[in-house]
A and B are shown apart, each in its own frame.
Chain A
Amino acid sequence: MAAGLTRQRRKLADNDGVLAWAFLAPSVVYILALVGLPFILAIAFSFSDVTGGDPTFDWVGFANFSAIFDDPVFWASLRNTFVFTVISMVLIVIFGKILANILIADFRGKWVVRFLVLLPWTTPVALSSIAWLWLLDSVFSPIDYVLRALGLIENNVYWLGQPGLAIGSVIAVHVWRLVPLAAVIMLAGMLAIPKDVQEQAAVDGAGFWRRMFEVTIPLTAPVIAIAALFGAIFTFTDMTVVQVLTRGGPNNETQVLTSWAYFRGIEGSDIGQGAAIALFLFPLLLAAAIAILRAVRRMEVS
């Protein structure tokens, strides 16, 4: 017996330290290659005169920054980015919460409904944006068709051609795309609340709204915060919706930082300026990441 035990050798797989590194290594390489390196390049490019036609690196100091600061489109993009993000985030949280409340109810076929609800999130953004492009078409829009049939409008609406409507359309597509994700995150949070506490509130005489605002929402606040931040980050960093629907138009009214950096840096070939514009995404993303980590920490503590 004792001899049998000593013959058992310590294998590599028993060594937690080696295993930890082995499992972490792919993601570390991935992050360094696809996030870390491009980020350093972006900082370097933003202080250079690199263009599509002349990739040699020459230091130009803050010339790119002063150039973009003088450009009103940059300020419009910055403002739009924040406006789109804040409005989308608020709507995503409200609709996500409502949807989560519907999904948590016990009804026949709720698994089918949960699956269908998740579809907008699982569809690639480019595909769903193209679908929306058709839905919002100025001539063939089925939305217009329905509204006309209902007698609500007489002529077709230029969803993507008028400034206010274009902004609304972009926000609506963001919300449509991200509400399911937020709903599922919040649903998971609601399922994690002890059932006792909900039942206690019911016995204590609290009605639906009181239970919702005094028990469910405070107890799921960290999860709601995470859903909100995910919504914000995905809206903030997305350029596909704007790119496909409006290409920043009309007249740069829907231009955001990501799309403007792309137009300047890639299509306009001024890589230095594009990088400088894109760098403005960084501070807010950093703040959002810190906020997410703090929310997660709060969940672990409580």
Chain B
Amino acid sequence: MAVVEVRNLHKHFGAGKVHAIDGIDLSTEEGEYLVLLGPSGCGKTTLLRTIAGLEEPTEGDVLIAGQVVTGLPPRARKIAMVFQSYALYPHKSVLANIVFPLRASGMERGPRDERARWAAGLLDIEHLMDRKPRELSGGERQRVALARALVREPTVFLLDEPLSNLDAKLRTSARDELKRFQEEIGTTTIYVTHDQTEAMGLGDRIAVMSDGKIRQIGPPVEVYDDPADTFVATFIGSPPMNLVTRGSTFVGFRPEHLLPVEIVSGERVTMTLDVQRMEYLSGDRHVYGEVTIGDAPSRVIARLPATVTTPIAAGEKHDFAVPAAKLRFFDVETGLRSEPVRLGS
């Protein structure tokens, strides 16, 4: 049974002018880590808030554990949510923050303190119990917010960009911790982010959203290797997938598959790269240039790993190739995946 399911969900703002959610069907599996990924304004946070009950959908239904909860207030949904700001109660101590949901549910003092200690132990914040939120670092605040979400044993965790307030270094370790934490608890989690690294690293499945719609949903490998359309292809991957026009088709390939021709063996498509610029980034060489497969030249990026030592310089022309199996084809009109096209070489 799906833990969370939304059916034909629509949410309009401003008298129907803005379609923040424009017809979404989605269901999570038990214990799954589902990431909603998309650029800002794509409706991912609105979708999460609608699941939480903080927004009323204009149309459609939200189901939690098989029950329609569309009209119910947040407190009746047995969910836990961590906001981007962590939304700790600033006037309460860490302990009081953590036990707040338990007090709201009417639990006795004894068992409630025990559960708070259990959650604090899990997140390694027992020594902070008497502090006020303002005396905590960003990482500690995040843990308190997680502990508060955890104590109630919710059916689902809803996390809204919980890492975006941390500095870059902390974010990596916090991401790792979040993942281990969820594996330990095993609670279904829906996680909203605009950061593809977070999405790829955390998600069992990723739902890529844009303009209030889900463009593709699948495991990270699938979303990366087999993007459903040009939006997903260019949104995911850094640098993004190269799209080269050839008639009414975009030929797409990832920068790491565009390599000097002598490296690529087997069935391959060769092209001449007019090298314009080079960047040297964490061991990789990023080569910017133009290739022509069809009629007009297209800008592409090649990412050469440190193991490829072929000398390349700006201003030169160089023969590159892509393994045939790594080519993806998209319709220029719709942006959707299309049938493979036989390329001339």
CB within 8 Å of B: which residues of A? 194, 196-197, 199-207, 210, 214-215, 218-219, 302
Question: Do the beta carbons of B75 and A206 come within 8 Å of each other?
Answer: yes
Of B52, B85, B89, B105, the contact of A205 (CB 8 Å cutoff):
B105
Contacts across chains A and B counted by CB atoms under 8 Å: 61
Chain A residues with CB under 8 A of B101: 204-205
Minimal beta-carbon separation of B81 from chain A (angstroms): 5
Q: If A200-B81, A202-B54, A302-B134 touch, does A207 touch B75 (CB 8 Å cutoff)?
A: yes
Contacts of B87 in A (CB 8 A): 194, 196-197, 199-200
Whether B89 and A215, one on each chain, are in contact in the complex, defined by CB atoms closer than 8 angstroms, is yes
Other A-B pairs, 11, CB within 8 Å; known A199-B87, A204-B100, A206-B75 = A199-B54, A199-B81, A203-B52, A203-B79, A203-B81, A204-B75, A204-B101, A204-B148, A205-B74, A219-B90, A219-B91
**Residue pair A196, B104 in contact (C-beta under 8 Å):** no
Interchain CB contact (< 8 A) of A203 among B75, B84, B88, B89: B75
Instruction: Tell me, yes or no, whether B235 is within 8 Å of chain A by CB.
Output: no
Q: How far in angstroms is the closest Cβ of chain A from B121?
A: 20
Q: Are B134 and A200 in contact (CB under 8 A)?
A: no
Chain B min CB distance to A244 (Å): 43
In the complex, are the beta carbons of A203 and B91 less than 8 A apart?
no
- Chain A residues within an 8 Å CB radius of B134: 302
Chain B min CB distance to A148 (Å) = 46
The answer for the CA separation of A199 and B75 in the assembled complex, in Å, is: 10
Q: Which residue of B lies closest to A197 (CB)?
A: B87
| A302 vs B105: C-alpha distance when bound (angstroms) | 29
Query: Do residues A194 and B85 form an inter-chain contact, with CB atoms below 8 A?
Result: yes
The answer to whether B104 touches A210 (Cβ under 8 A) is yes
* A203 CA to B83 CA, complexed, in Å: 11
Are B91 and A200 closer than 8 Å at their CB atoms? no
Contact with A along B60-88 (1 / 0, CB 8 A): 00000000000001110001110111011
- From known contacts A203-B74, A302-B90, infer whether A196 and B83 are also in contact, taking CB-CB under 8 Å: yes
Q: Which residues of B contact A218 (CB under 8 A)?
A: 91
- List residues 153-171 of chain B with CB under 8 A from any CB of chain A: none
Q: Are A205 and B75 in contact (CB under 8 A)?
A: yes
CB distance from A295 to the nearest CB of B (A): 15
The interface size of chain B toward A, counting residues with CB under 8 Å, comes to 24
| CB contact list, B86-102 vs A, under 8 A | 87-91, 100-101
Q: Which residues of B have CB within 8 Å of A302? A: 90, 134
Least Cβ distance of A218 to chain B in Å?
A: 5
Interface residues of B in 34-75 (CB under 8 A from A): 52-54, 73-75
Q: Give, as a whole number of angstroms, the nearest-CB distance from B166 to chain A.
A: 17
Central interface residue in B54, B75, B80, B152, by most chain A CB within 10 Å: B75
A200 near B75: Cβ-Cβ < 8 Å: no
CB distance from A214 to the nearest CB of B (A): 8
Select from chain A the residue with minimum beta-carbon distance to B148.
A204
In the complex, what distance in Å separates the CA atom of A204 from the CA atom of B96? Answer: 13
Closest Cβ of chain A to B158, distance in Å, is 8
Instruction: Report chain B residues within 8 Å CB of A196.
Output: 83-85, 87
**Shortest Cβ distance from residue A265 to the other chain B in the assembled complex, whole angstroms:** 47
Which chain A residue has the least Cβ–Cβ distance from B84? Answer: A196
Residue numbers in B under 8 Å from A219 (CB-CB) = 90-91
Contacts of B84 in A (CB 8 A): 196
A54–B316 CA distance with the chains assembled, in angstroms: 108
| Chain B residues whose C-beta falls within 8 Å of the C-beta of A200 in the assembled complex | 81, 83, 87, 89
Q: Which residue from chain A places its CB closest to the CB of B79 in the assembled complex? A: A203
Chain A residue with Cβ nearest B81? A203
| B residues less than 8 Å from A201 (CB atoms) | 89, 100
Q: Are B75 and A202 in contact (CB under 8 A)?
A: yes
Q: Report B89 CB to chain A, min CB distance, Å.
A: 6
Contacts of B73 in A (CB 8 A): 202
Give the distance in Å from the alpha carbon of A204 to the alpha carbon of B89 in the complex. 11
| Contacts of B206-245 to chain A: CB distance below 8 A | none
Instruction: Give the Cβ gap from A291 to chain B, nearest Cβ, in Å.
Output: 19
- A206/B104 in contact, CB under 8 A: yes
